[in-house]
Amino acid sequence: MPSTAIVWLRRDLRLHDHPPLHAALAAHDHVVVAFVLDPAILTGRFASGPRTAFMLDALRELRDAVRERGGVLAIRHGRPEEELPRLAAELGAEAVYWASDATPYAMARDRGVREALAAADPPVGAVPGPGNFVADVGVPRTRGGRPFAVFTPFFRVWGTLDRRAVHRAPQAIPRPPGGITAGTIPSPADLGLADDLVGERAVEPGETAARAALQRWLDGPLPDYADQHDHVAAGSSALSPYLRFGCLSPRELEERAARRGGAGAEAFVRQLAWRDFYAHVLLHHPGDARHEHQERMRQLAWEDDAEGLRAWREGRTGFPLVDAGMRQLRASGWMHNRARLVVGSFLTKDLGIDWREGEAWFMRWLLDGDVASNNGNWQWIASVGVDPAPAFRRILNPTLQQQRHDPDGEYVRRWVPELRGVPDELLAEPWRMSDAQEDAAGCRVGRDYPAPIVDHKEERQRALARYRDVPAAASS
């Protein structure tokens, strides 16, 4: 008897190097690709209109690519543990394949799906597998057998892990005979969301655009990445939204970058390792999704500063690099990683505001909003997470950061246009302009652009005191 399988997509919206699809096609006569619009994600804690719109557009392109190969993309809306057994019964499917994930919600959801498939009549097989990470993030252990909490030793072990083969996109996806209700891909408005970026998306959605962007990256900036990756006006691959939704395979990225070789490729692969590291951490420490990894830091005293938070969100803190980053986020759904560190340090150290406020704001707007990476990076810059270091090492001076990483002012002038006329030597500190310089620049600080809302030197000392006042961890 011919057999049928379902390949359940989640954040792996591609056909190239798709292990669950490859495995299903090898083991079954017919395969249906499925995507479940899960209300728990779409309208849950980290709902995002821009990110959902990006995903829906990627799904539309993927639907066409599946059709071109003779297949069907079945769209369902509801709880996966209900919709997948229902679809399996409709198709007479024997198994459901998917790529495993690491977040607390994904782990609970997948457990519920496995139980529901096993309870079906007849039972349906559950076949989770790789696909979302470079390597198996559940495997690495310290010599003592514990999960890692520091990146460098994790990276050493990660580099020794087995790597799976990279698969080509299938030429055909044979659908089962007979009819199937494909379902429709909604608009964000249909889901009660708004695609409300105020500018153009940082990148075009979909696998075709992703693969073109990857090729441009490999052929162009990659060799200089080690030297240029902190340059906020350029330097970055901007491939992170494609990794977030799996329009690109992280394993393929690693292989293709490593094949080029050189310092740039090595630095880029290290960034892929950071992504796997944060997934590893959240897999083994699910409580980090809501609480500081360092338990003693849960006693840290955060400020209640609604006006400071609002100024930070709106990009009107009076510190040009901070404001440029926050405006880039709101306009394009993306922000350079160095700028993310600077704005994160400013929120948590200069303003003393809870890192969870920053985490949530980023997840509201980022096209690449990834629970594990976003959480891990916010805890890192707030000095409360894994890979610990003294707080003073992660208090970034926004003025010095701008002078180092945007020396010609290209980034700031793009995103903070009211400062375009400010001389280079004063662009990082526009409040130092004289009246005559303000007139020449066409920018009056305090009127056309905000004066600094805090004094960085003073806030640095307050931050150090705040962290110093946290009681030491109890000895065992």
Residue 474 is predicted with a pLDDT of: 52
DSSP tag of 46: T
Burial class (CB in 10 A: 0-12, 13-18, 19+), 228: middle
Task: Report the residue count for the chain.
Answer: 476
In this structure, are strands 4-9 and 30-37 parallel, antiparallel, or unpaired?
Answer: parallel
Residue 50's H or E segment, with its range, is helix 49-68
Contact yes or no for 167/56 (Cβ under 8 A): no
Phi, psi at residue 458, to the nearest 5°? -65, -45
Q: What is the mean pLDDT of each run of 10 residues along the chain (476 residues)?
A: 96 98 98 98 97 98 98 98 98 98 98 98 98 98 97 98 97 94 96 97 98 97 96 95 98 98 98 98 98 96 97 98 98 98 98 98 98 98 93 94 98 98 98 98 98 98 95 61
Residue 82's H or E segment, with its range, is helix 80-91
CA distance 122 to 94: 9
Residue 390 is predicted with a pLDDT of: 87
CA distance 468 to 442: 43
- Partnered with residue 445 across adjacent β-strands are 449
Tokens, residue 286 = 């699910």
Residue 476 is predicted with a pLDDT of: 34
49-68 vs 207-219: helix crossing angle, rounded to 10: 100
Q: What angle do CA 459, 402, 420 make, to 5 degrees?
A: 115
Following CA atoms 369, 371, 373, 376 in sequence, which dihedral angle do they give, to the nearest 10 degrees? 130
CA distance 135 to 397: 36
Residue 388 is predicted with a pLDDT of: 85
CA distance 360 to 362: 5
pTM of the model: 0.97
Contact yes or no for 80/109 (Cβ under 8 A): yes
Give me the sign of the Cα torsion angle 250, 254, 260, 264: positive
**CB-CB neighbours of 335 under 10 Å:** 28
Residue 2 is predicted with a pLDDT of: 92
Q: Could you give the 3-state DSSP secondary structure of residue 212?
A: helix
- Cβ neighbours of residue 170 under 8 Å, at least 6 residues apart? 15, 21, 22, 25, 69
Tokens, residue 460 = 């640095």
Q: Could you give the 3-state DSSP secondary structure of residue 127?
A: strand
Residue 302 is predicted with a pLDDT of: 97
CA distance 476 to 473: 9
End-to-end CA distance of the chain: 62
With tokens 């970026």, the residue in question is 197
CA distance 405 to 66: 43
Contact yes or no for 438/444 (Cβ under 8 A): yes
E strands, 10-132, where?
30-37, 73-77, 95-99, 125-129
CA distance 235 to 231: 5
CA distance 77 to 189: 15
Question: Domains (ranges, CATH) in the chain?
Answer: 4-132 (3.40.50.620), 133-165+208-284 (1.25.40.80), 295-468 (1.10.579.10)
Question: In the Cβ-directed half-sphere of 278, how many Cα atoms lie within 13 Å?
Answer: 18
With tokens 């529901």, the residue in question is 116
Give the residue ranges of DSSP H helices in 315-432.
320-332, 337-345, 355-365, 371-381, 398-405, 410-415
Cis, bond preceding 140 (omega within 30 deg of 0): no
Q: Could you give the 3-state DSSP secondary structure of residue 445?
A: strand
**CB-CB neighbours of 448 under 10 Å:** 13
Contact yes or no for 67/175 (Cβ under 8 A): no
CA distance 178 to 181: 10
Residue 95 is predicted with a pLDDT of: 98
Residue 13 falls in which region: left (phi positive, over 0), alpha (psi -120 to 50) or beta:
beta
CA distance 343 to 366: 14
Contact yes or no for 318/449 (Cβ under 8 A): yes
CA distance 19 to 98: 9
